[in-house]
Structure 1
Amino acid sequence: MSASLQRQLPHASSVSLNGRQVPYVTVANPRRKSISIYWTGRVEVRCPPGTTKRRVEAVLKEHADWVLAHLPAEGVPASRYCDGGVIPYRGGQAALVLGQERSVIMKVGDRTEVWLKVPKGADEDAVKMALALALKKYAWRVINDCWMRVIETAPKLPVVWRLSSAKTRWGSCTSRDTIRLSWRLIARSDTEIEYVIAHELAHLKEFNHSPRFWAEVERIYPGAVQIHESMRTLKAADKLDDL
């Protein structure tokens, strides 16, 4: 990994400030000679390489009043659409990294990061727009891969399937045998995506939600009913409906 890339990778941690647990990230930069604290939608500590966690947290505690003054009130969630924000991605999570030269999704160590070509101080709307564009590009490939696996057991195929921007429905099937799958499925695991595909394929034979329909879903994708029940309990934080 290049030195320039290492400078861009934040390290997440948390510290207790006046009785409140505060998450923060450290960003090392060889050009820095001292430690500085910034609020960029999160607490960001920029420091020289090799700075110890003890030293970073000592500085945070020294400036605790300033840090706490910039945090949202306790109980009020901060926006996840900011530098360091975390979104649901493929059944897990991905961290947003702003201020990059291009938008790309990549594995960095053991975590997934979404690099976005927007300034670190960009407002929420700008971040959401850039993020949606990036996720849509990846959604097509991911969902199509799932599609190709599921159709092997489908007795009937649609005239065509397309990505949609639906927020309240993962997928839909029309009377003209067209299936639409929301790109927001990128938030969920491959297993969940494949279940949604099987669900819509089953509608090509049973355009209802009768026992025959559910039997068809289960035949196309064994275990589908159990996945359906688990997806009904998903919370807003597990989806991308606000994007």
Structure 2
Amino acid sequence: MGHHILPGNPPVELILRRSPRARRISLRVSRLDGRVTLTLPRGVREGEALDFARTKESWLRAQLATQPDSISVSEGVCLPVEGQPRLIQRGLGKRIVLDAQSITLPGPPEHMPARLQAWLKTLARERLAQASDRHAQALGRPYARLSLRDTRSRWGSCTSAGGLMYSWRLVMAPPVVLDYVAAHEVAHLAEMNHSPAFWAVVARLCPGYHAPRQWLRQHGTDLHRYRFDG
């Protein structure tokens, strides 16, 4: 039926579904992937259902915070970086070191989640800027600015003023996936829609984009399993 974003930190995407068999408005949080479904019985206005969801926001966020498949980032956990699982371990020195199989960082364990999140955001900005610059140059249309957020509802967006926004969690996905999302959003600089002309631009910027697009559909929610709140 549609989607609605419940504002907050983080924003929560509501999937609106109308059911002729439903007797009352209901909210359901999937234990599998954390998707939130707002079901409307016949005759109930969308605004009334959204008001109901807002009254249940505290309960809803509590449910999302206790998803059984969430992973608290800490020493000994495998965290994907650029599509490869890396074992988080403590080490000496002053900086975070990434190699093929591990992420090593100094300092007390309680500081690990915040440090890793900040490091991932820095890496994400670097990778997304590189990809966006490359695609914008190929398209011949510059973008105005680049910002990062932690959104569950979308991996990126492009404003009519040329502002690009991305989820920093894309840096945990394989590089081809990050590149596809950058191509998708840069393509909106030329086509602010999802018309055949838009997808033609995406195909030109990112040949074979169907595979990384499918990866996001199948595995994207897994990137939200990792929690950095300690």
Q: TM-score, structure 2 length as denominator?
A: 0.60
Which segments of 5 or more consecutive residues in structure 1 lack a partner in the other structure?
A: 1-75
Return the match for 2:108 from 110, 114, 119.
119
1:76-225 aligned within 5 A: 79-98=71-90, 100-107=92-99, 111-120=100-109, 122=110, 126-160=111-145, 162-168=146-152, 169-225=154-210
Counterpart amino acid of 2:105? Answer: L
Aligned-residue CA RMSD (Å) = 2.5
Residues 63-112 of structure 1: per-residue CA shift (max 9 Å, x gap): xxxxxxxxxxxxx76845121111111011111113644341321xxx33
CA distance, structure 2, for counterparts of residue 235 and residue 227 of structure 1: 10
Give identity over the alignment, percent.
27
Specify the structure having the higher radius of gyration (Cα). Answer: 1
Contact between 2:97 and 2:103, CA under 8 Å: does it hold in 1?
yes
Contact 2:149–2:165 (Cα < 8 Å) also in 1 = no
Distance across 1 between alignment mates of 2:208 and 2:84: 20
* Per-residue Cα deviation, 1:179-225 (whole angstroms, up to 9, x for no partner): 12222211012211111111001111221222222122112211113
Q: What is the TM-score of this pair, normalised by structure 1? A: 0.57
Please tell me whether the aligned partners of residues 135 and 186 of structure 2 are also in contact (alpha carbons under 8 angstroms).
Answer: no
Quote how far apart the aligned CAs of 1:240 are: 6.2
Shift of 1:128: 2.1
Residue 233 of structure 1, CA deviation: 0.8
For each residue in 1:95-143, what CA deviation from the matched residue of structure 2 results, as whole angstroms up to 9, or x when unmatched?
1113644341321xxx3322233324x3xxx432121112122222222
Residue of structure 1 equivalent to 2:16:
none
Task: Indicate the structure whose relative CO is greater, using CA pairs within 8 Å and at least 6 residues apart.
Answer: 2
Alpha-carbon separation, structure 2, partners of 1:180 and 1:235: 17
Q: In the aligned structure 2, how far is the partner of 1:177 from the partner of 1:96?
A: 37
2: CA distance between counterparts of 1:204 and 1:142? 19
List gaps (5 residues or longer) in structure 2.
Answer: 1-67
